Each structure stands twice: as structure tokens, then as C-alpha cells.
Amino acid sequence: MQSSHNNYIRPLIYIAAFLFALPLSGCAIRDKGIDYSQDGAPDYGDAIVTASIADATTLIPIVASDSASHEICALIYNGLIRYDKDLNITGELARSWDIKEEGRIIVFHLRDDVKWHDGMPFTAEDVFFTYQKLIDPDVRTPYGGDFKKIESFEIIDPYTIKITYKEPFAPALSSWGMLIMPKHILEIEDLNTTKYGRSPIGTGPYKFVRWKSGQRIDLKANEGYFDGKPYIDRYIYRIIPDTATMFLELQVEGVDFMGIAPLQYKRQTENEFFKKHYNKFRYPSFGYTYLGYNLLNDKFKDKRVRKALNLAVDKQELIDGVLMGLGRICTGPFVPESWAFDEKVMPDPYDLHAAKELLLEAGWSDSDGDGVIDKAGLPFEFTVLINQGNDSRKYAAEIIQHQLSRIGIKVKIQVMEWSVLLTEFINKKRFEAILMGWGLSRDPDCYDIWHSSKTREGEFNFISYQNKQVDSLLEQGRRIFDQEKRADIYHKIHAMLYDEQPYMFLWVADSLPIVHKRFKGIEPAAAGIGYNFTKWYVPAQQQKYRR
Amino acid sequence: MLLGISLISFAVIHLAPGSPVESMTTLDPKVSFQAREKLIAQYGLDRPVYVQYLDWVRRIVMLDFGTSYRDGQRVIVKIAERIPVTLLINILSVILILLIAIPIGVTSAVRSNSLYDRSMTVFVFIGFAMPGFWLALMLVSFFGIKLGWLPVQGIVSLDFDSLSFLGKTLDVSRHLVLPVFVSCFGGLAGMSRYIRNNMLEVLHKDYIRTARAKGLDEKTVVYKHALKNAILPVITILGLSVPGLIGGSVIFESIFGIPGMGRLFYESVMGRDYPVIMAILVVGAFLTLIGNLLADISYSLADPRIRYGK
């Protein structure tokens, strides 16, 4: 090629190559040679980087309904009470409380040494303000239910409040874990749209610094926190929308703390790098996964059929396959960590023979030899609905499908987008079986899930479970304050529900958090590992983010 | 036309089952039935659909795009936060595609059916067929973790704010290398094949033969005469791709952690955030119409045949 073009092509190529190579400069610092296995005395400083797949929506605690917002709010605000490491209720903004008239009246004695992040003192007015907003019809809060049961709210003095309920409501104490908002800042604001939703003021261990939409939220330690300034100076919340990428970030120490999947826990975090830089933890999560039957469907009305199905599904195989063994069999509506859990309830064995017998008794047999059992000409077929985006439920459904085929039951699986599933199928009860999970609140009251009155469209007893005995037990459980008596009641409910099998209770998965090794002071307990987050620290020599 | 597009969009969104309230109150045992009803009333979702539509039109005319159902922010603000990154990546990607695809197309046409042409074809089609998200993860794994040359995700590093201006520019460009590369790699096939085919067509035209007969060297024939004619349709393509500039792939943006329009749109649809969805659709429709107009105008400017009528 010879012509005038030659003269400028070559320099162009050089420039292009330079521009391309320029961004590639700068290698990542991999190993600084620090031994993180050493412990040390508590020091202030450093930052912790956590990640989430979703951004928060607002930092006004009573309006936010998503978990990302709650995670941040829990650091910025406090409730009157909180749960300690053994899952007992202990005071936070309230120093103590008196329960009168068998629980109808609660008198809270508030701390007098708490200041808002702007220096103003916290008083009973703030609690009253929060209560008013919770029951305000113009505030878009989903949490008003528990607070509408209050008959009257009296401020006795700036640090004493007397709350009277219409009747004793046992979960009331737990409901006061609700995060308290500042009256002097928010009383003139519209909580749904206030700018303080993006620059909150609270009483909590961390103060808000800034929020870059879709990217990160920064918090810094509150020097004047009533329980002592947290050791970790900064909290950086990164939004990383893809879990695969999040795990990649973990591998370059770009993230200090995240929950990992069973596969990652068992197979991908056992190498040199992870052993040197991270600690893994494992404890039961506070929720369970289940297969719910539509009890209005003829097939599932017969208790023998439900029991047979339970006997025919090998739950351990499910846990080993889907959770790689990182979970345990669920025996009812409560989790092992809860005081409502009855350890005496034993899971049914895996017994195909007994299952077939029960089905025969109920009238189901393979009369036409096609491999599928039938009754009065109708084959035993049903469809399980699951929501899109949850791999473990998908795998579980497939395994159950396979296991039930061994006793001649044909299962079909349908995956659907969440909102559609909820509004068109679950709420309208247009389903045969669904594979879902519940994340439980700390208080064991599960009235909304099992009571026969909660079967309207949009309510949680969508399987249409009706049992008068359980109904009355649920009502009692809500009204009695004495924890021992309540525990008896819930034990009974636990045993009954397992016997009746309105759900096939599947598993309680393990929570699998992984934390960078430089963070010390982590003590796994019934409540998990986060309960004493303000006491975690990094010894000076191991600190990473200085400033 | 805008009215028609917005009407259809509004209707379709409201036909989809579910409402913003579902994603807000997802089977949360603490949310009572009455609370849900209250939320529906507050959003005005219990009014008839045509009332909601007319209300929306009235506000749009005042350029009030409303506030998001998800977090109460003004929709304009939400979109304005996301557009710059998306635009940056898309524009860089388009420029890169043009810079690479045009030479490939031209040289392939000139040497059509040679080994060069065939290997170029294979190359661009590999880019086309390869799943973008897979390539993205592979590259991140290799360049980000194994070699440590490039950051894993995001558009800025954690310590961005403490960097100098030069440092900041370098930081952003380091973060953009992989997204722009992956985005461009897939688009090479289309453009280069298009150029190649156009060039082939043009190279067989009579006026090219005339140019050669006049004694002009091959370079001038190809670049000055043929290319100029072959490139005209590209203008149309560019015009039609204007609305695409504000669109992003949600898969792509999720993997690279880019807070762009793709994720905004996807999350809004999933959360039934009607104001945001409508705003993005209206902006997109508007840009499509503008882009069309621009394409028409520039085509007539560039091609005298159109101006004087063939």
C-alpha cells in the first residue's frame, strides 16, 4: 500500500494501542503478607464492606418493606427492645418495662442518655410520634397491624410511657422492636416522600454519610452512641446485583461480608486463599421451606393422602442434594432456635411401603396399570408452582417429582414470575401445590398463617386450613404473656400441625455467612453472628481501610 | 403518535397481573390485609384504569413525570441519575464498533472470498453467537481475578472520592474497558456484514468501473468513491439506533454492576413501578421519532439523489 494514507495510519495505531493499554495499567495488590489468624486487642478504625443484590428504597424505617432498606435502617435507628444472642428480649431504647393486667398494659421506662444523630435528646415524644405514624392512614406503611390493637398511649413523663391494649396481645412486646423515628425532624414531613428518606437521622450505632443510587451507601460510626462507639469506623454497603459477580468480588477482597450458597460454602471456598483471608460460619436460619397443598382440592382433603406423601419424600435426600447437607429436616411451623419449637416432634421416616399402604386405604391404586395411581378413574397428578429465580426450590421440586413417581404419583412443575404467582394463583387459590418458604419473625405467633379466619384473598392462610383446636390454641397463644405457658401452647400446635400435614414441611436451611478474617469478636449464637456487630473490631496491624 | 404509544403502553402495563403493592408486601407476615388495601388506595390504584391514564397524561403535558412507587423519588431524577453511564457506554461502544467494523467490512469486500474474508466472517460471528454474559464473566474472571489487571465490577472504585481528577478519569476508564469491549464484540457482526455487502454491491456498479478506467489507483477508488456510497445506509442505522442509546441490557448491567437504564427498567417492571416504566417508554418513543427524523434529514443531506428526487 503506498499513498498518503500511510503517513497517518501508523501513528494512529500507536495512539490507539496506548489508549487501550493505559486502562490496563495498575495491578491488583493480592497478598500483603498479613497473618489474619492473629488476634489482637480491640482497636477503633477500619471499614467493613458488605454487599447486596438490591439497593435500598428508603431509609424511613416504617415505610421501607424490602430487606436491603431494613439492613441499613437497623444500623441507623433503634427499637425499644431488641433480641439478644440467646433470642431473649432485652432492652434497647427502653431500660426496662412492667407488664400489668396480664399483659394488657405495658409501661416502658426509657433510657435518658440517648441522643439523636443531630444532638437532640431522645424522649417519649419520639415513641408516640412513631406510633401515630404507624396507624396514620396516609402513611404508606405495611406494619400498622400490630399497633392498631393499641387502645391508648399515654406519655407519663419524658422517659415513661404507658401503652394499653384492647386485650392482652403477647406479640406486643416484640412489636416494639419497631425502629423509632425522630419527631423533631419528621413531624412536618410527608414520610412517603421526605428527603430524610435519603438522609436519615436516627439514634443508632451508625450515622448516615451518603447514598449513591444503585452503587453504594456509606455509614460512619456514631461517637455518642449510648452503648459505646462501635469499633468499626465505617460501614460501606455495595450494591452488586449479580451473585456470581459478588462472589468474584469476594475473591479479590472487594467484599468483606456476604451470605454464600451451599455450593460455594462446600466446594469453592476451601482453597488456600479463602482459608487465609476469610472465616465461614454456619447456623440454622430463621425460616423454613415447605410444600403447601391447596386443601380445597379433593385430592389433598384426605389426611391419609398427605401423610402418605410425607412418608414418600426422603427429606434428607432433598437436603443433601439441594443444600449439600447444610440444613436440617423441618418438623413443623417453628425453627429449632425458637422457644416454641418442640424437640419431641420427630420427623416421619422415609417409608415407601407405608406410603403405598396409606394411599391404598384412601382409595388410590394403579387400577389401569399405567404406572400412575388413580381413584374413580382420575389419575393422581398435580402441578407444583414455584417462583422464578429461586434455584433451590426448583431443584427441590424436581427431586420431589422424581421421588413421588416411585409411588405412582405424577408431578408437574411450573415456574412463574413472583407477582403473577402471588396475585393470580396464590391469592386466588388457583393452585394445587406450591413450594415456598416462610421467613419467621422472632415472636412465634403464627395466627396469620394458620387461623381459619385468615383465608381471604391476599391473606396468608391461602391453603385454607381449618382446625378449631388449632384456632383456639392460636388465640390463646396470642393472649397469654407467660412464656412458659405460651411455650406449652405452641408445642401443642407444633405437634398437631406435623400430624395433620397441611404442608409437607421440608427443611430449615443453614445461614452461611462468610466474613473477612481480619474482623474479630464474632461469636456465633442462637441469634446468628450479627447481634453484637458493634463489638466487632480489627486489630490495628490488620486494618485495611485507613483514613 | 406519542399519545398512541403511551396509551398502548399504559394499557399493557395495567393488564399485567400484580401491582406495586405486591412487591412491597411480599408475603410478609407482619403486613395485614387492611394495610395492603390502604396502600392500594393511597396509590390511586383502585380507580378505573382510564381515569388513571388521563391523570397521567395531564401531568405529562406539564412535564411532571411523577414520583416512583418504589422509593418516592421523582422519576426525572431517577432517570437522570442513570442515563449518563448508559449513554457513555453505548456511545463508546458504537464508536468502537464503527471504528472496527467499517475497516473489516471494507477490506472483506475488497478481498471477498479470500482466506482473510472467511476468517473475518468467522471472527465476527463468534462475537455474535457468544452469549454476552458468559463472555463477561470469563473476562472478569481472567482479567479481574487471575491477572488482577482490571476491576471486577462497578463503575468506580471504593476510594474514588479521594483520587485526583486524572486518577478519577483513569479509574472510570479502567472500569469501562470490559463492559464496552463485551458490548462491542457482539455488535461487530451486524455492522461489518452490512458494510461488506453494501461495498460488494457498490464495487460492481458502473461508476466504479469508470473510476478504474479513468486510471485512478485502487485506494482512491475504494475509499473515496465506493465507501462514500456504501456508507449511506449506515446513517439510517445510526439514526434508528438513537433510542437504543438510552437502553441497556439488564443482564449485562447486573454482571458488571453498572447502575444504568437497563436495570432501572427491569426493576421497575418487576416492581410494577408504573410512573417509571411509563416515563422510560415515553422517552424511548420520543427518541425513536427524533432518531427517525434525524436519519431522514441526514440521509437526504448526504445523498444528493434523494434531495433532487431520483
**Window B:82-111, CB contacts with A under 8 Å:** 82
Mean pLDDT of chain A: 90
Which residues in A lie closer than 8 A to residue B18 (C-beta atoms)? Answer: 419-420, 422-424
Cβ-defined contact of A242 to B257 (cutoff 8 Å): yes
Which residues in A lie closer than 8 A to residue B66 (C-beta atoms)? Answer: none
A143: DSSP letter: -
- When pLDDT is averaged across residues A17-25 and rounded to a whole number, the result is 56
Which residues in B lie closer than 8 A to residue A240 (C-beta atoms)? Answer: 153-154, 257
pLDDT tens digits, one per residue of B231-269: 777 877 787 777 777 777 788 888 888 888 888 888 888
pLDDT band at A213; cut points 50, 70, 90: confident
The CA R_g of chain A, rounded to the nearest whole Å, is 27
pLDDT at A27: 40
Nearest CA in chain A to B260: A214
Min Cα separation A24/chain B (Å): 6
- When pLDDT is averaged across residues A209-227 and rounded to a whole number, the result is 93
Cβ-defined contact of B174 to A26 (cutoff 8 Å): yes
pLDDT at A40: 84
> Mutation test of the interface with chain A: which of B26, B42, B64, choosing the one with the most A Cβ atoms within 10 A?
B26
Query: Which is nearest to A372 in space by CA: A430, A417, A315, A412?
Result: A412
Cβ-defined contact of B152 to A252 (cutoff 8 Å): yes
Out of A245, A420, A441, closest to residue B17 by CB? A420
Q: Does residue B221 register a pLDDT over 60?
A: yes
- When pLDDT is averaged across residues A488-502 and rounded to a whole number, the result is 96
pLDDT at B233: 78
The CA distance from B40 to B52, in Å, is 13
pLDDT band at B24; cut points 50, 70, 90: low
Cβ-defined contact of B144 to A240 (cutoff 8 Å): no
Task: Return the minimum-mean-pLDDT range out of A27-31, A492-496, B97-101, B117-121.
Answer: A27-31
Cβ-defined contact of B35 to A440 (cutoff 8 Å): no
CA-to-CA dists, residue A104 to A129, A150, A469, angstroms: 21, 9, 24
A421: DSSP letter: I
pLDDT band at A1; cut points 50, 70, 90: very low
> Mutation test of the interface with chain A: which of B76, B145, B152, choosing the one with the most A Cβ atoms within 10 A?
B152
Query: Which is nearest to B102 in space by CA: B244, B294, B230, B291?
Result: B230
Q: Does residue A499 register a pLDDT over 70?
A: yes
* CB neighbour list of residue A43: distance below 8 Å, 6 or more residues apart: A231, A537, A538, A539, A540, A543
Min Cα separation B172/chain A (Å): 9
Asked whether the beta carbons of A239 and A261 are under 8 A apart, the reply is no
Asked whether the beta carbons of A69 and A59 are under 8 A apart, the reply is yes
pLDDT tens digits, one per residue of A377-424: 899 999 999 998 888 999 999 999 999 999 999 999 999 988 788 888
Task: Return the minimum-mean-pLDDT range out of A87-101, A334-348, B294-308.
Answer: B294-308
Min Cα separation B133/chain A (Å): 11
**Window B:197-256, CB contacts with A under 8 Å:** 217, 219-220, 223, 253-256
Q: Does residue B34 register a pLDDT over 70?
A: no
Which residues in A lie closer than 8 A to residue B270 (C-beta atoms)? Answer: 417-419
Is B17 part of the contact surface with chain A (CB cutoff 8 Å)? yes
pLDDT at A3: 45
pLDDT tens digits, one per residue of A159-189: 999 999 999 999 999 999 999 999 999 999 9
pLDDT tens digits, one per residue of A120-156: 999 999 999 999 999 998 888 888 888 999 999 999 9
Out of A27, A213, A422, closest to residue B22 by CB? A422
Nearest CA in chain A to B136: A245
* CB neighbour list of residue B132: distance below 8 Å, 6 or more residues apart: B182, B183, B186, B249, B251, B252
Interface contacts A/B by beta carbons within 8 Å: 176
Task: Return the minimum-mean-pLDDT range out of A18-27, A51-60, A504-513.
Answer: A18-27
- B18 versus A514: the higher-pLDDT residue is A514
Cβ-defined contact of B257 to A245 (cutoff 8 Å): yes
Min Cα separation B293/chain A (Å): 34
pLDDT band at A13; cut points 50, 70, 90: low
Is B33 part of the contact surface with chain A (CB cutoff 8 Å)? yes
Query: Which is nearest to A147 in space by CA: A62, A78, A82, A59?
Result: A62
The CA distance from A55 to A329, in Å, is 33
Amino acid at A472: S
Nearest CA in chain B to A447: B29
Cβ-defined contact of A65 to B140 (cutoff 8 Å): no
Q: Does residue A470 register a pLDDT over 90?
A: yes
The pTM for the full model equals: 0.81
- When pLDDT is averaged across residues A32-56 and rounded to a whole number, the result is 88
Q: Does residue A354 register a pLDDT over 80?
A: yes
Q: Does residue B25 register a pLDDT over 70?
A: no
Is B148 part of the contact surface with chain A (CB cutoff 8 Å)? yes
- A360 versus B9: the higher-pLDDT residue is A360
Min Cα separation A6/chain B (Å): 11
Is B302 part of the contact surface with chain A (CB cutoff 8 Å)? no
* CB neighbour list of residue B225: distance below 8 Å, 6 or more residues apart: B207, B208, B211, B216
Cβ-defined contact of B78 to A215 (cutoff 8 Å): no
Which residues in B lie closer than 8 A to residue A387 (C-beta atoms)? Answer: none
The CA distance from B181 to B100, in Å, is 12
pLDDT at A17: 64
Dump strand ranges (E) for A74-205.
81-83, 89-91, 94-100, 105-110, 150-157, 160-165
Min Cα separation B26/chain A (Å): 8
- When pLDDT is averaged across residues A272-291 and rounded to a whole number, the result is 94
The number of angstroms, rounded, from the C-alpha of A37 to the middle of its chain's C-alpha atoms is 30
Query: Which is nearest to B276 in space by CA: B20, B11, B36, B23?
Result: B20
Amino acid at A438: W
- When pLDDT is averaged across residues B113-122 and rounded to a whole number, the result is 89
Task: Return the minimum-mean-pLDDT range out of A342-346, A498-502, B223-227.
Answer: B223-227
Cβ-defined contact of A240 to B154 (cutoff 8 Å): yes
Nearest CA in chain A to B81: A213
pLDDT at A15: 65
Cβ-defined contact of A26 to B149 (cutoff 8 Å): yes
- ipTM, 2 decimals? 0.73
Q: Does residue A23 register a pLDDT over 60?
A: no
pLDDT at B145: 85
Min Cα separation A258/chain B (Å): 16
Q: Does residue A534 register a pLDDT over 90?
A: yes
Nearest CA in chain A to B181: A20
Q: Does residue A31 register a pLDDT over 80?
A: no
Q: Does residue B143 register a pLDDT over 60?
A: yes
- When pLDDT is averaged across residues A186-201 and rounded to a whole number, the result is 91
pLDDT at A71: 93
Task: Return the minimum-mean-pLDDT range out of B5-9, B34-38, B145-149.
Answer: B34-38
Q: Does residue B271 register a pLDDT over 90?
A: no
* pLDDT above 90: percentage of residues in chain B: 1
Asked whether the beta carbons of B230 and B201 are under 8 A apart, the reply is yes
> Mutation test of the interface with chain B: which of A13, A249, A387, A450, choosing the one with the most B Cβ atoms within 10 A?
A249
Asked whether the beta carbons of A297 and A432 are under 8 A apart, the reply is yes
CB atoms within 10 A of CB B271: 23
Min Cα separation A145/chain B (Å): 6
Nearest CA in chain A to B253: A241
